[in-house]
A and B are shown apart, each in its own frame.
Chain A
Amino acid sequence: MPELSRILHVEDDPSIQAVAKVALEAVGGFRVLSCSCGQDALDQVQGFAPDFILLDVMMPGMDGPQTLAKIAQLVDIGQIPVVFMTAKVQPAEIEHYRGLGARDVIIKPFDPMQLAAQVRQIWNRVHG
């Protein structure tokens, strides 16, 4: 299994951005690059070369699904799992997100102590 170490996190809410960074770095030992909008993510994704991408759904300007579509043109999302983070969704919505190429959805609010484990679990499933 390839190693999971670099995570790109795209989120416009600074509080969530900060708590996810702390949680993923301190608990999971990952290296995290936080971007505050879709465009920022597109500019950085190739340079940072993440193993895993966490994407907020609702963002001003380019939203999560739009960002995903553009990221998919830049990197191989078959190898780099893209996962949406969003507040409570209906099962139908998750199917919709999967259709767009997302590997899973992490529900907000999330438990900071468990976030790294959730990411790791998705990673294991994709690459296991």
Chain B
Amino acid sequence: MAEPHTPTRELERQLQLLGEKFAERLAQELPELASKAQLLQAGDHQAQLQQLRSLRDQLHKLAGAAGTFGFASIGQRAHELEQQAMHWLESLRLQDQGLQEFIQQVQQFAAQGVQSEPAPNSRARPQATPKAETDVHCIYILEDETSIGESMRLTLGNFGYHAEHFSRIADLDAALQRRLPDALIIDVNLGDSEQTGLAYAAALQQRLEQPLPLLVITTEDDFATHLEAVRVGAMGYFTKPVDIPQLENRLERCFAQQQGEPYRVLIVDDDHHLASRYSLILRGANMLVEVLESPAGIFEAMSRFNPEVVLLDVNMPDCTGPELAQIIRFNDDWLRVPIIYLSAETDITRQMDALIKAGDDFVSKPIADNALVTTVFSRAQRARLLSIALSRDSLTGLLKHADIKEQVGIELERAQRSGKPASVAMLDIDLFKQVNDSYGHVAGDNVIRALANLLRQRLRRVDSLGRYGGEEFLVVLPDCPAAQARRILDEIRQRFAELHFIAGGSEFSVTLSAGIASTEQGAHDAGELLERADRALYGAKHGGRNQVGQS
């Protein structure tokens, strides 16, 4: 999806360069860490301590720096190892057993290297066509029926994931040792295994520091299995035969949730001391926090910082929390922002009074750190999902007609300024009416969603994507000549044709046609470019469908 065209592009470019430099530094520093860890085994006690201090300092630097450049999980892991190093230093006893383990952990961390980093919300990340290797999500599939597992692997591969299929628990275990995937798909009913897939998943999740996103597939559709799946932390439940595009859609949602920007939280509290404490707790949970001590600054803070959650102190001298909440609610733009009161108020009637006036929730002081984080997190998460749902096409999550059309204009202007050609592609699903008529609208919706996901996976971040009409999509590709656009779209066309959909027990596949127009032939305005793409699409349809035409 294209970033809005703002003066910060130069900044983004600089940050990207710094990010690349940092990645180089990581590649150098990680092996150093490993050899430092190795040296811990040698030398006398004093030498060991000195080595350990130097290791701790280096881990500390990494813990602070990596996340800034988008390498969040490397930063997190470095932080954990730093804590362990500190623990060893404090105990001042370097017992062999535990120390060996620590050394191994540092070496494993170093060996993971820079590639394994998903770098989820990094701005400082190189963009490439097609997606860079580090961008690809890795999925492990445990499925004892080889044909099902393989077809899943191939289909997810078409969507741009790196999928690996394992028929036996032992094989999966071995792969997990080598590399942790970004998500797991597990069949509940494993033919000749002693364990069910769920029992295995439960044990595995416990073993991991952070549970993996998990989807289960099963032949059972009963309540007990559903419940068991929820209890092992499954984020999706699919009965066989599995509709893979639907499963892919769920995966996509899991990742979207993980990769979000930090939540923005505004705290309004006249007690400076408390406010900075809350702020610290929430910032520790990776949220962006601003504190406002005087309620009068609310308009400025709301419009500049655009918070996703507002925390309000109930008792402030000039203006009470409920009054301020009502002021916020006067403005329709801020209706979707949840308001949570912070108060020492334990009188339930007065709490209810406050809630009736405005506001969504109440937390009583003193509040435990965890409770505060959880309350704010869950509200923020829901608010963000709702807000995305409102501004995007509800079926596909892509831009709506008007927004994508606007994007064509923006990219056309940019192309004229920069002299770099942009292309526009219009896509249409072939004989879509027949899909709806033969398999029903649910199946039709599924096809549309699958194409949306496929496009999202295969295109670059700078490309814009919109649902133009019912089964029609529009793609805007900046800095991309027609010939390149044609190659990209043709690859998407082939992969789409390879998808298998399931409806009412029968399987079917669908094709698409596309038309491309580029600024290389000159274009006065967005309308002209769109019209040419439309004509090229018409040509592709007339040429027999399942092809990409060019104006």
Contact = CB atoms under 8 A, between A and B. Distances in A.
By secondary structure, the B interface counts as helix
B65 A13 contact: yes
Contact of B79 (A13, A27, A87, A114): A87
B32 interface: no
A88 interface: yes
Nearest to B21: A15
B284 A88 contact: yes
Given A15-B65, A104-B276, A58 B18 contact: no
B75 A117 contact: no
A118 to B, nearest CB: 8
Contact of B63 (A15, A88, A105): A88
Contact of B280 (A26, A60, A91, A113): A91
Interface string B56-81: 01001101111111001001000100
Q: Which of A91, A105, A108 has the most CB of B within 10 A?
A: A108
Interface stretch (A2-10, A16-24, A36-44, A66-74): A16-24
Contacts, number: 89
B68 to A, nearest CB: 4
Interface string A23-50: 1001100000000000000000000000
Interface stretch (B288-296, B488-496, B537-545): B288-296
B79 A15 contact: no
B14 interface: yes
Contact of B65 (A27, A94, A109): A109
Contacts of B67: 108-109
A116 B301 CA distance: 15
B288 A111 contact: yes
B14 A26 contact: yes
Nearest to B281: A91
B8 interface: yes
Interface string A99-128: 000001101111111100100010001001
B368 to A, nearest CB: 12
Contacts of B64: 13, 16, 85-87, 108-109
A109 B288 contact: no
A108 B272 contact: no
A104 B516 CA distance: 55
Interface residues of A, number: 32
A71 B396 CA distance: 56
A114 B261 CA distance: 12
B358 to A, nearest CB: 25
Most chain A CB within 10 A, of B18, B22, B57, B75, is at B18
B18 A26 contact: no
A113 B123 contact: yes
A60 B58 CA distance: 11
A93 B11 CA distance: 33
Interface in B60-115: 60-61, 63-69, 72, 75, 79, 82
Nearest to A20: B68
B410 to A, nearest CB: 21
A91 B22 contact: no
A43 to B, nearest CB: 23
Interface string B1-30: 000000010110011001001100100000
A58 B291 contact: no
A88 to B, nearest CB: 6
Contacts of A117: 290, 305
A87 B72 CA distance: 13
Contacts of B241: none
A12 B68 CA distance: 15
Contact of A125 (B8, B22, B63, B291): B291
Nearest to A27: B11
Contacts of A87: 60, 63-64, 79, 82
B527 interface: no
B36 interface: no
B404 to A, nearest CB: 25
Contact of A22 (B18, B82, B280): B18
A22 B22 CA distance: 14
Contacts of A110: 68
27 contacts: A13-B65, A15-B25, A16-B65, A19-B15, A19-B68, A19-B124, A22-B14, A23-B11, A26-B8, A27-B8, A58-B57, A60-B57, A87-B60, A87-B63, A87-B82, A88-B79, A94-B276, A105-B280, A108-B67, A109-B65, A109-B69, A109-B72, A111-B288, A112-B68, A112-B123, A121-B291, A125-B291
A-B pairs with the 4 shortest C-beta distances?
A109-B67, A108-B64, A87-B64, A109-B68
